[in-house]
Structure 1
Amino acid sequence: MTTKILIVRSSSLGDLVHMLPAISDIARHVPHARIDWVVEENFAEIPAWHPAVNEVITVAHRRWRKHWWSRQTRSERAALRDTLRSRQYDVVLDMQALMKSVWVVRQTRGLRHGLDRKSAREPLASFFYDVKHAVKFWQPAITRQRELAAAAFGYQYEGPPDFGLQAFTEGQPIEPYAIIMPSASRPDKLWPAEDWHAVFDRLQEHGLGLKLLAGNDAEAARGQALVAGRQGAQVLPRMSLTDIAKVLARARIMVGLDSGLTHLSAGLGRPTIGIYKASTPVRTPLQGAAYTASLGERGSAPSAQTVLSAVELALDYSKPAPLTGQSSGEQDAST
């Protein structure tokens, strides 16, 4: 018998990446699960990547709130309401526990699960759930999401997180370039140019090209300034999230500020180094199948030398296997 499930988690990019292992857990432990996912329209690609997601239902809070009472917004909100009310779910699971996610949950039909008031970031949200779950706050976001899903469906999860992104990684060759994410939406997250230059030098000493990501014109200009006059470096044009994921999946290494794309790189199983300066890695550390390093802390950026040391470890981890008859055990002993 099919279990119809609606996941409510609309944003942001990094938080959606952190959700993917919980979706894998649900698919593994709930027989015949049919999973729909409500997500912000700009991030609709992310749930669609996961093979266990049946349908992606979009909201547009970021766009609607600018013109909440306009005719177009009212029409789009009514269409969403009609879509949600036309379906009966066995479980509606709010993985966000914010009033904006509750706004969606209240329009659904099904048993509504969410965090209790001591676990939710916005405690008022908990009053709108039929079933409330306690999940410790100060632990990694991926762990919180996996624990909430396990509590809602009554299973015990185990093993490392599975992001369900094999479609990007299986059979893909690793190419000799590094992905760099030097920009952020907040200036207090930025890392000094001279420190980036030291990282660029080291990566190029290892024979790697540099591909810088930029999400808007200001970030592109910053990237161009950082690599001005440097051979083998380029600022990539704006791309869809799917195209970025494809580029990340083939990279030898990624070094980036604490951003959703840096977390996506880790989820894709690429060696990834995250630079934290205005946020703490306690709740959002990088996690993935390859080497990851979450460096720095709120108010205390990592030094260039700390990042360079992590670069060496990451490159050693991602070193191609030898072409001789040497066994993997012999290779490990020699490194």
Structure 2
Amino acid sequence: MSKKILIVRTSSLGDLVHMLPAISDIAQHVPGAQIDWVVEESFAEIPGWHPAVHEVIPVAHRRWRKHWWAQQTRNERAALRKNLGARQYDVVLDMQALMKSVWLVRQTHGKRHGLDRKSAREPLASFFYDVKHTVKFWQPAVTRQRELAAAAFGYQYEGEADFGLDSITDGVQVEPYAVIMPSASRDDKLWPEEDWQKVFTRLHEHNLDLKLLSGSPAETERARQLVEGNPRAQVLPRMSLTDVAKVLAAARMMVGLDSGLTHLSAGLGRPTIGLYKASTPVRTPLEGPAYTASLGERGSAPSAETVLSAIDQALDFDDSAHADLTGGNEPD
């Protein structure tokens, strides 16, 4: 008999990546789990990558809040309310614990689970759950989500985090390039240009080309300036999340600022180095099955020398892992 489950976690990109191992755990430990997921429309591709997700239900809160009372927005909100109201779930699990996620939870039918007031980022949200769970705040995001899911469904998880991204990684051949993410949503996360140039030089010494990611036109221009005159560097055009994930999956490694795409690279099992300057890696370290390094701290950017050392370690680690898989020899 199936157990109908609704997951509420709408954003952001990195947070959704951190959710994926919890979905794998639920699928493993809850017999007959049928998992639907409410997610922000711009990130709707991410839940769809996981084989255990039955249906993705998009919400457009980011777009709606710009024109909350416009007729089109009101019509779309009414359609979502009707959609959610027509469904009956055994468990509705709010894994965001914000008032904007509670707004969605209140439109659902089913036993509502979430964090208690001491565990939630916005304590007021806890008053709207039928069942409240305690999860320690100061621990990695992947662990928090796995613990919340385990508490909601009454199991003990074990083993390494499984991000469930085989749909992206299966059959991918790694190519000789590194992905670079030099941009961020906030200027206080940026890393000095001269340090980036040292990184580019080291990656070229390892015979790697560069593929730079960017989002907004301003970020694209910044990326172009960073690699101006560099014949082995390419600033990639804006792509879908699935296409970006495929680029990451085929990369030899990634070096990026603390961003959702950097966390996605780690989850895809590529050697990944994250540069933290305006946030702490205590709560959101890079996690994945390959080499990861979460360097720096809030108010203290990592030095270029530290990052260069991590690059060498990451590539050595990947070489060793490849040798283990091939018995120390390249295939004929």
Partner of 2:117: 117
Q: Runs of 5+ in structure 1 lacking a partner?
A: 331-335
| 2:207 aligned partner | 207
What's the counterpart of residue 19 of structure 2?
Answer: 19
- Is 1:316 matched with 2:316? yes
Question: How many pairs does the alignment contain?
Answer: 329
Distance 1:87 1:168 in 2: 30
Aligned-partner SS, 2:283: coil
Q: C-alpha distance in 1, partners of 2:166/2:67?
A: 39
Q: Secondary structure at the match of 1:78?
A: helix
Amino acid at match of 2:41: E
Deviation at 1:317, TM superposition (A): 1.2
Task: Give the counterpart letter for 1:114 in structure 2.
Answer: G
TM-score, normalised to structure 2, is: 0.97
Q: 1:293 maps to which residue?
A: 293
Counterpart for residue 165 of structure 1: 165
SS at structure 1 position matched to 2:5:
strand
Find the aligned partners of 1:72 and 1:136 in 2 and give their Cα distance: 41
What does residue range 61-80 of structure 1 map to in structure 2 within 5 Å?
61-80=61-80
* Matching of residues 96-245 of structure 1 within 5 Å: 96-245=96-245
Question: Which residue number corresponds to residue 10 of structure 1?
Answer: 10
Tell me which residue corresponds to 1:266: 266
2-side partners of 1:257 and 1:128: how far apart? 36
Q: What's the CA shift for 1:190?
A: 0.1
Any idea what SS the aligned residue of 1:65 has?
helix
2:294 partner SS: strand
- Residues 121, 214 of structure 1: alpha-carbon distance in 2 compared, 3 angstrom cutoff: same
Rounded to whole Å, the distance in 1 between the matches of 2:172 and 2:184 is: 28
1:326 CA displacement: 8.3
After the TM superposition, which residues 50-61 of structure 1 pair with which residues of structure 2 at under 5 Å, given as runs?
Answer: 50-61=50-61
Taking the aligned partners of 2:327 and 2:261, their CA distance within structure 1 comes to 34
Q: What is the rounded CA distance, in whole Å, between the counterparts of 2:227 and 2:69 in structure 1?
A: 45
Q: In structure 1, what is the equivalent of residue 47 of structure 2?
A: 47
Aligned-pair CA distance for 1:290: 0.1
TM-score by length of 1: 0.96
Give the gaps of 5 or more residues in structure 2.
none
The letter of the residue matching 1:302 is P
d(CA) in 2 for partners of 1:14, 1:264:
7
State the Cα distance separating 1:74 from its structure 2 match: 0.6
Shift of 1:172: 1.1
Residue identity in the other structure for 1:130? D
Q: State the distance in 1 between where 2:326 and 2:223 align.
A: 41
Q: Which residue identity is paired with 1:229?
A: G
Moved segments of 4+, more than 3 Å:
320-323, 325-328
Query: 1:32–1:326: structure 2 CA closer, same or farther, 3 Å change rule?
Result: closer
Per the alignment, do residues 56 and 194 of structure 1 end up closer, same or farther by CA in structure 2, a change over 3 Å counting? same
Q: Distance in 2 between matches of 1:315 and 1:203?
A: 10
Q: Name the CA shift for 1:322/1:116 in 2 (closer, same or farther; >3 Å).
A: closer
**1:216-245 C-alpha deviation (Å, 9 max, x unpaired):** 211110000000111210100000000000
Match of 1:264, SS? helix
Shift of 1:322: 5.0
C-alpha distance in 2, partners of 1:170/1:245? 12
Alpha-carbon separation, structure 2, partners of 1:9 and 1:172: 29
TM-aligned CA distance change 1:326 to 1:98, over 3 Å: closer
Q: Deviations over 1:19-65 (max 9, x none)?
A: 00000000000001000000000000000000000000011111111
CA distance in 2 between partners of 1:232 and 1:143 (Å): 38
Partner AA of 1:259 in structure 2: S
Match of 1:333 in 2: none
Q: Structure 1, residues 226-266: CA drift from partner, whole Å, max 9, x if none? A: 00111210100000000000000000000000000000000
Residue 95 (structure 1) aligned with residue 95 (structure 2): yes
Q: How far off is 1:171 after superposition?
A: 2.0
Query: What RMSD in Å do the two structures reach over aligned CA positions?
Result: 1.5
Kindly state the Cα deviation for residue 169 of structure 1 after the two structures are TM-superposed: 1.2
Instruction: Give per-residue Cα distances to partners, 1:287-319, cap 9 Å, x unaligned.
Output: 000000000000000000000000000011112
Overall identity of the aligned pairs, in %: 77
